[in-house]
Amino acid sequence: MFQKEKKMKAIFLDRDGVINVDTSYIKSPDELVLYPFAAYAIKQLNEAGYIVVVVTNQSVIARNICTEKTLELIHEKLEAELKKEEAYVNKIYYCPHHPEGNGSNKNNPYIKECECRKPKAGMLFQAKVEFNIDFSESFMVGDSECDIQAGITAGVKTIGVKTGNAVSGKTKPDYIATDLLEAVKVILNSK
Ligand SMILES: [Mg+2]
Ligand SMILES: [Zn+2]
């Protein structure tokens, strides 16, 4: 008998300024420094049965600041750091694009308008298909207005954190939290 697949609830996390310190255009594994609470916060989401998905704009690729190979190494470090504290993310989606070339990178194939760069919600929709996610049971956590806008477009609940860019901008999230750890408290108390 065909059984309808169970829908999953998910937490979408921005990367820079949420999981790790945003030092602007991180281009090597050394530059990636996790917040001390990040792994513990994510572990709680793992244990609560959430799919944890990172959705990050990485225009460093389009800007010729970093190669995709190096970005992979940066993400390997991120996952290794999480693993040390028994936490994991189910997948990292990144947007390598940027709409404008500026000088030497103008021939970069990733210079284009795309559907994945936040504030668009392309990465969230991709994850929705891949993990059978129920957006109505899901949250987006971000430190920038574009994260909140992407979450609103997808129809998930939104939490702005005060780390990184501290959600300055006109778009108001459903909740404000000091950091990812407090955001996780909000999520776990929302049931
Ligand atoms: Mg950010
Ligand atoms: Zn893109």
Q: Which ligand is nearest to the CA of 23?
A: 1
Centre of ligand 1 from the C-alpha of residue 133, in Å: 22
Number of domains in the chain: 1
Q: Quick check: is 2 in a domain?
A: no
**What are 48-89's pLDDT values in tens digits?**
999 999 999 999 999 999 999 999 999 999 999 999 999 999
Q: Which ligand is nearest to the CA of 163?
A: 1
Centre of ligand 2 from the C-alpha of residue 116, in Å: 4
As a 3-state breakdown, the chain gives helix, strand, coil percent values, each rounded to 5, of 35, 20, 50
Q: Look at residue 3 in the predicted model and tell me its pLDDT.
A: 53
- Are 164 and 143 spatial neighbours (Cβ–Cβ below 8 Å)? yes
The predicted model gives 132-153 an average pLDDT of: 98
Please say if the pLDDT value at position 104 is more than 80: no
The predicted model gives 153-166 an average pLDDT of: 98
pTM recorded for the entire structure: 0.95
Please say if the pLDDT value at position 103 is more than 80: no
Centre of ligand 1 from the C-alpha of residue 48, in Å: 24
Q: Quick check: is 1 in a domain?
A: no
Centre of ligand 1 from the C-alpha of residue 5, in Å: 33
Q: Which ligand is nearest to the CA of 35?
A: 1
Residue 32 structural domain: 10-189
Which region holds residue 132: left if phi is over 0, alpha if psi is between -120 and 50, else beta? left
Q: Quick check: is 183 in a domain?
A: yes
CATH of the domain at 69: 3.40.50.1000
Please say if the pLDDT value at position 24 is more than 70: yes
Q: Rounded to whole angstroms, how far apart are CA atoms 10 and 124?
A: 10
Q: Give the three-state DSSP class for 25.
A: coil
Q: Quick check: is 24 in a domain?
A: yes
Q: Which ligand is nearest to the CA of 126?
A: 2
Query: Comparing C-alpha atoms, which of 1, 112, 128 is closest to residue 55?
Result: 128
Centre of ligand 1 from the C-alpha of residue 6, in Å: 31
Q: Quick check: is 74 in a domain?
A: yes
Query: Comparing C-alpha atoms, which of 36, 158, 16, 8 is closest to residue 94?
Result: 16
Q: Which residues are catalytic?
A: 14, 16
Centre of ligand 1 from the C-alpha of residue 22, in Å: 7
**What are 170-191's pLDDT values in tens digits?**
999 999 999 999 999 999 999 7
Q: Quick check: is 104 in a domain?
A: yes
- Binning pLDDT at 50, 70 and 90, where does residue 105 land? confident
For the chain, what is the mean pLDDT? 95
